[in-house]
């Protein structure tokens, strides 16, 4: 049995400093403590002076295909105006055969000079001979040009689908802006964000994550067509990529029926050692940025609407119970206060029948005062994305108003109530940088500082919290797989802003240091 003694300046987890060394045998943790006590003459030793060794960092909520698409397909995040959007799309159109669709990601109206979404006529300036579909960076809103609307058969007579909205002008003509399930009407016809993606592209993107210290993901993957954002069958892609995956993926599946979910679980559990079925993913509402999150009261900057509640317990329940029967959990996306209350009500009923089931609320962004304590009472994990605050700093109060802002991303209140927080990025919505997420959890990017967590709690979010949210053992338990991240600074002792410049020295997966891959795709 091969053994290695890994030595740094300190080994730290959410409970404190555990020594300066870890004994690894056959890819698993055999002992923790001080090198002077664990060292033997015949024992191979790997020394990393100046480093802090922490449990392998994780991301509890990640879209692998969406991330790879943002790195390998049209990405309009650099656009600062409608003219920039037209220029970026036009450049792709010039190299794309007429009639072929053009699909882009990361459109951000908040960073455009016009401070609004472009419409179909703007996109028509880029091309009238290609169907064009651009997704807002949140993924809950997209814009189609006239050709794409025609390809999907959308006109003034097309009704809004359940859980979605087709924006229309004063005369009832579709503007090209599609919200929530309305995106599927076009996405299914012209292709989704991951159109034509290959297993090699997916793996090259995921190899870049290892260089950012990540060792495991809670991966959100769709089955078949017509699911969120029309991304196509991501399950096929992931299973094809599975033999070469560089890190562990615990997969939450977006599936419409119990039969589809069971088939997906069986495929995932046979796909390879780095892939496992983790449960069901469901949407209850949309996003704050797209004003589709389901709120109790109207948006402060949109007084005519309260968002879109997509959750139907009668439809979800048989699939959720199938997920639990298959050994998985249930993860439900809820951002607005109305959506969170609705989901907690449902999870309370589910908990009555399944006392040990893994239950997660994804995002838990805006909570009613009476709902904060219910997470711990029902034993529901809050899967949160602190980095949302970094991209929402300029507009969050304008959208919600000052009163609701005090109960938005309420990490301190949830923690004090005994809730387990699992950190993530929702990438490609936010960058896949766990250290940036820890920093945002601690300094809140200036948003309601009273809701900040401590350095230890922030580390726990992206280590112990992630493994809890994936149904995995505590990361540094004896016998656990040796997934480790080595940092050039102590993530607890360093000031919050110092985390943004902390460097990943090495990432270890299953007891081996993962070499830097020059062909990996890296978020910039």
Confidence of residue 38 (pLDDT cuts 50, 70, 90): very high
Mean pLDDT of 498-519: 97
Residues 323 and 462 in one domain: yes
Mean pLDDT of 55-84: 95
Residue 35 domain flag: no
pLDDT at 282 over 90: yes
Tokens 């940036």, residue?
Answer: 436
Residues 167 and 202 in one domain: no
d(Cα 237, Cα 221) in Å, to the nearest integer?
10
User: Domain span at residue 78?
Assistant: 74-190
CB atoms within 10 A of CB 250: 25
Confidence of residue 524 (pLDDT cuts 50, 70, 90): confident
Going by C-beta distance under 8 Å and a sequence separation of 6 or more, which residues neighbour residue 376?
414, 417, 418, 419
Q: Which strand (E) or helix (H) includes residue 21?
A: strand 16-25
CB atoms within 10 A of CB 90: 13
| Torsion angles phi and psi, residue 21, rounded to 5 | -150, 155
pLDDT at 286 over 80: yes
Final residue of a structural domain among 190, 209, 229: 190
Residues 315 and 418 in one domain: yes
d(Cα 175, Cα 167) in Å, to the nearest integer?
6
Q: What is the tens place of the pLDDT at every residue in 437-489? A: 999 999 999 999 999 999 999 999 999 999 999 999 999 999 999 999 999 99
Share of the chain above pLDDT 70, in %: 98
CB atoms within 10 A of CB 305: 12
Residues 339 and 291 in one domain: yes
Name which residue leads in pLDDT, 53 or 234: 53
Tokens 């012209």, residue?
Answer: 190
pLDDT at 82 over 90: yes
Q: What is the pLDDT of residue 2?
A: 86
Residue 27 domain flag: no
Q: What is the model's pTM? A: 0.95
CA angle 107, 109, 110 (to 5 degrees): 125
| Torsion angles phi and psi, residue 231, rounded to 5 | -80, -5
Q: What is the pLDDT of residue 230?
A: 58
What Å distances lie between residue 149 and 91, 146, 311, 516, CA to CA? Answer: 21, 5, 26, 44
Confidence of residue 232 (pLDDT cuts 50, 70, 90): low
Residue 401 domain flag: yes
pLDDT at 225 over 80: no
**β-strands 512-513, 16-25 pairing:** unpaired
Residues 93 and 240 in one domain: no
Name which residue leads in pLDDT, 197 or 457: 457
Q: What total number of domains does the chain contain? A: 2
Name which residue leads in pLDDT, 213 or 223: 213
- For the residues of 459-498, what is the DSSP string, one character each? HHHTTHHHHHHTT---TTSTTSB--EEEESS-TTTS-GGG
Residue 255 domain flag: yes
Residues 176 and 201 in one domain: no
Confidence of residue 299 (pLDDT cuts 50, 70, 90): very high
- Token pair listed for 473: 């053992």
408 DSSP assignment: B
Final residue of a structural domain among 190, 220, 249: 190
Residues 273 and 358 in one domain: yes
Q: What is the pLDDT of residue 188?
A: 84
Q: What is the tens place of the pLDDT at every residue in 96-107? A: 999 999 999 999
Mean pLDDT of 284-304: 95
- What does the mean pLDDT of the chain come to? 95
| Torsion angles phi and psi, residue 426, rounded to 5 | 55, 25
Confidence of residue 1 (pLDDT cuts 50, 70, 90): low
Residues 246 and 348 in one domain: yes
Q: What is the pLDDT of residue 455?
A: 98
d(Cα 250, Cα 237) in Å, to the nearest integer?
15
Give the lowest-confidence range in 29-33, 301-305, 395-399: 301-305
- For the residues of 82-123, what is the DSSP string, one character each? HHHHHHHHHHHHTTS-TT--EEEEEE-GGGSTT-S---HHHH
Residues 158 and 237 in one domain: no
pLDDT at 231 over 90: no
What Å distances lie between residue 1 and 15, 27, 31, 73, 489, CA to CA? Answer: 30, 10, 15, 45, 32
Q: Contact 339/293 with Cβ under 8 angstroms?
A: yes
Q: What is the pLDDT of residue 32?
A: 98
């Amino acid at each position: 049995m091969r053994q290695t003694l890994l030595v740094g300046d300190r080994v730290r987890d959410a409970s404190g400093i555990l020594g300066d060394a870890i004994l690894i045998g056959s890819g698993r943790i055999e002992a923790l403590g001080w090198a002077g006590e664990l060292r033997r003459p015949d024992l191979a030793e790997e020394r990393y002076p100046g480093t802090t060794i922490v449990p392998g960092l994780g991301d509890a909520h990640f879209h692998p295909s969406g991330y790879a698409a943002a790195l390998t397909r049209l990405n309009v995040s650099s656009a600062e105006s409608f003219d920039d959007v037209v220029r970026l799309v036009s450049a792709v159109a010039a190299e794309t055969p007429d009639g072929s669709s053009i699909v882009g990601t990361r459109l951000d109206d908040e960073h455009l000079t016009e401070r609004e979404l472009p419409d179909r006529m703007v996109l028509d300036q880029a091309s009238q001979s290609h169907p064009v579909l651009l997704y807002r960076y949140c993924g809950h809103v997209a814009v189609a040009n006239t050709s794409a609307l025609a390809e999907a058969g959308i006109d003034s007579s097309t009704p809004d689908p359940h859980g979605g909205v087709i924006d229309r002008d004063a005369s009832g003509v579709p503007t090209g802006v599609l919200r929530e399930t309305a995106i599927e009407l076009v996405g299914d016809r012209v292709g989704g964000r991951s159109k034509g993606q290959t297993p090699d592209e997916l793996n090259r993107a995921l190899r870049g994550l290892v260089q950012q210290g990540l060792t495991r993901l809670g991966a959100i993957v769709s089955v078949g067509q017509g699911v969120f954002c029309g991304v196509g069958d991501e399950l096929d892609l992931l299973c094809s990529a599975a033999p070469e995956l560089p890190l562990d993926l615990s997969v939450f599946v977006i599936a419409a029926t119990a039969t589809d979910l069971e088939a997906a679980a069986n495929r995932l559990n046979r796909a390879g050692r780095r892939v496992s079925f983790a449960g069901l993913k469901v949407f209850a509402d949309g996003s704050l940025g797209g004003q589709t999150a389901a709120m109790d009261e109207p948006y402060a900057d949109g007084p005519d609407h309260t968002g879109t509640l997509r959750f139907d317990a009668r439809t979800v329940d048989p699939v959720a119970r199938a997920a639990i029967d298959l050994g998985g959990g249930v993860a439900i996306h809820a951002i607005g206060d109305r959506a969170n209350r609705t989901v907690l009500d449902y999870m309370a009923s589910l908990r009555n029948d399944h006392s040990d089931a893994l239950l997660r609320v994804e995002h838990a962004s805006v909570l009613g005062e009476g709902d904060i304590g219910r997470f711990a009472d029902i034993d529901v994990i809050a899967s949160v994305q602190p980095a949302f605050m970094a991209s929402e700093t300029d507009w969050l109060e304008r959208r919600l108003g000052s009163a609701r802002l005090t109960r938005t991303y309420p990490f301190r209140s949830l923690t004090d109530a005994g809730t387990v927080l699992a950190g993530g990025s929702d990438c490609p919505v936010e960058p896949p940088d766990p250290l940036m997420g820890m920093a945002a959890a601690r300094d809140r990017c200036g948003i309601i500082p009273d809701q900040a967590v401590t350095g230890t709690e922030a580390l726990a979010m992206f280590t112990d919290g992630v493994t809890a949210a994936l149904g995995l053992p505590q990361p540094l338990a004896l016998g656990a797989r040796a997934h480790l991240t080595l940092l050039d600074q102590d993530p607890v002792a360093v000031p919050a802003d110092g985390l943004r410049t902390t460097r990943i020295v090495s990432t270890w997966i299953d007891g081996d240091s993962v070499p830097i891959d020059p062909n990996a795709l890296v978020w910039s």
